[in-house]
A and B are shown apart, each in its own frame.
Chain A
Amino acid sequence: MFFAGVDIGSTSTECVILDESGEIIAADMRPTGANSAKAAQAVLDSAIEKAGLDAPPHRIVATGYGRVSAPFAHKVVTEITCHARGVLHLFPQVRTIVDVGGQDSKVIRIGPKGNVIDFVMNDKCSAGSGRFLEVMARALEVELDDLGPLSEKSAEEISISSMCTVFAESEVISLVARAVPVEDIINGIHKSIVNRLASQMQRMNPEPDIVMTGGVAKNSGMVKKLSQAAGHVVLVPENPRMTGALGAALTAMGLDRE
């Protein structure tokens, strides 16, 4: 018997398939694009193919912003619960999760059994999310994956004061025009996002271990800065984008018991 979790996010859609023992037998992802239902079906199909299954998984749980657009799902669960379950499976000692996705950021406090004690999400605007970094990378003509390594070469601390993505982009362009080194600008961008995340985190009275998930956790510069702000080493799963889908698949495993 197999179980699948599909996380349909604002930027990317991921699928994880587990066997009866909870082992990951296949995982896949693709951009969500303009049709989230299509992306969800496609990523599920390709994960089924990768897993070599000849029938759909026994139970499927959908999560993420597009969770309601997955007709194949037996249940929909929010990404808050799924991230908690996914992370706890990977790091049983974790108590605080910082998830930065494409369009939102959240801090989740979890109990020893993986239950969500409290969570806080960005409000009023989505500055400081993955999309913010994508816009900045484009303005600086730098690959998204290079932001982390480049920021670690920064020699001077600068500040990006604007919280609005569009205004911050203007600020970055003016820094470029003044020939401020790209490494320093990127470092400044990371600092501004981490400052915002750190205040979100402080509101939750974070307890270690702290884990960062979501696409932005692949950025080593961000993780380092967040560790400094938290005063603890921030752990990162091997594939931080998959934790939501993993949590959904684990939830699918428990469905028959509910």
Chain B
Amino acid sequence: MAQFVKTDSGKRLTRLITNGYMDNIVKAQQGAFVVWIAIIVPAEIFAGFDNVIYCVPESHSALCAGKGVGVSLCEKAENLGYSMDLCSYARIDMGCHFNQGADSPAGGLPKPDLLVSNNNNCTLLAKWFDVYHREWDIPHFILDIPFCYESQKQRDMEYIVSQFQDLIQTVEKLSGQKFNPEKMAQAWENSVEANKHWRRFLAAAKNKPSGITAFDSFVQMAPTLTMRGTPELAEHYRFLADETEARVDQGIVPAPNEKYRLLWDNIAPWHQLRKMSSRLGALDANIISASYTYCLGSREGSLDLLDLESLSPLEGMARLQNFSICPHGLQLRGRAMKQAIEEMDIDGVVFASNRSCKVYSLMQMDQQRYVQEELGVPTVMIDVDHADERKYSEETAFVRMEALLESIDEARR
């Protein structure tokens, strides 16, 4: 049976996140220039300005879903006429911010002065931010990031860097503030440092039994999105990795009788974290890792960290624009999954077909066939939605996952 104890890093995380949201509200009230960004936008750029803050609607929507207000906020957006088929992050965000921050556990995000999105990680995000662009008459800067079927090409990196330079000029012009590249470089160093500790934390999954659950890593991802570039982020991940390694050394693990080591493919089911991990824990199953959490800073088609230290800050940030799974083609995804399965000795893969994220889910059937037929690892496909609980059925998901565990048992006989 799994043990769920709030760790010191868990308590620390709650404080960090709460303070982060509160700080943004206070700074915005005091006149800071507010940018809303897609998760992939390099937030370190904003650290190059004296008084520019950034907010991450996707992360805020995940927080809302995790705190149980996802459905009520989705319904608020649907009441305004937005289709139920749109991404639940977008619906939560619009339901919240077209209702003055209604239901948000963080009190909503301060209204933006600039919107910055990109077009390779999410098929819907540019349109979602365009809604605010039209409704609130706020400029919208879209980064054009090429898709990625192999490692990033030099000319793509240069193309992206040139757009970052445009973005810097745009913020200078709109905010009236002067950009300081030294401050951005310092923020970049903090991010690179944070990423190293994050990897150390994720590596605890290689232990047998695993030192973490993927659910821990889903939750601990939040500050990567909302506090990128800060020394506090690097410090938090150092603390998290040290604490996790110490717990593993002492034999304190989430599923001591671990019988099944599973890999999760897709965004976290934010509304089910505790429920799903507890119910799996009772079956001595642990989802120890996820393609979602490993994607931060990985070389395309692998779990290995990119070499970012040899690059200038802007080049490094450009290199990271292909970091997530979504812009990757089938072969890159397959290669990274193979490595995850081998390095973490995975017994089975749970493919979560996510109604709100077509770009993540689209290739899963091919990916599933590859894992099952080529790698000989049992898999299962379940239907989820990352933030809209109405599109998830616990029993139908669990009958599939339990059948996966039974087929792992049979294969062992």
Contacts and interface: CB of A to CB of B under 8 A. Distances in A.
A119 B383 contact: no
Interface string A108-122: 000000011111010
Nearest to B411: A115
Contacts of B400: 121
A143 interface: no
A79 B372 contact: no
A123 B403 contact: no
A78 B395 CA distance: 11
B406 A104 contact: no
A65 B399 CA distance: 8
Interface in A80-116: 80-81, 104, 115-116
Query: What is the interface of chain B mostly: helix, strand, loop, or mixed?
Result: helix
Given A115-B411, A123-B353, A78 B372 contact: no
A116 B407 contact: yes
27 contacts: A65-B395, A77-B406, A78-B399, A78-B402, A78-B406, A79-B399, A80-B399, A80-B403, A80-B406, A81-B403, A81-B406, A81-B410, A104-B396, A115-B410, A115-B411, A115-B413, A116-B403, A116-B406, A116-B407, A116-B410, A117-B407, A118-B372, A119-B403, A121-B399, A121-B400, A123-B353, A123-B381
Contacts of A123: 353, 381, 383
Give the residue among A65, A78, A116, A118 with the most B Cβ atoms within 10 A.
A78
A124 interface: yes
B392 to A, nearest CB: 12
Interface string B348-383: 000001000000000000000000100000000101
A64 to B, nearest CB: 9
Interface in B387-413: 395-396, 399-400, 402-403, 406-407, 410-411, 413
A167 to B, nearest CB: 16
Interface of A: 65, 77-81, 104, 115-119, 121, 123-124
Given A78-B406, A79-B399, A80-B406, 12 more contacts: A65-B395, A77-B406, A80-B399, A81-B406, A116-B406, A116-B410, A119-B403, A121-B399, A123-B353, A123-B381, A123-B383, A124-B383
A65 B402 CA distance: 12
A121 B410 CA distance: 19
Nearest to B283: A76
A164 to B, nearest CB: 15
Contacts of A116: 403, 406-407, 410
A98 to B, nearest CB: 16
Nearest to B383: A123
A254 to B, nearest CB: 11
Nearest to B279: A68
Contacts of A78: 399, 402-403, 406
B348 to A, nearest CB: 12
A137 B383 CA distance: 29
A206 B381 CA distance: 19
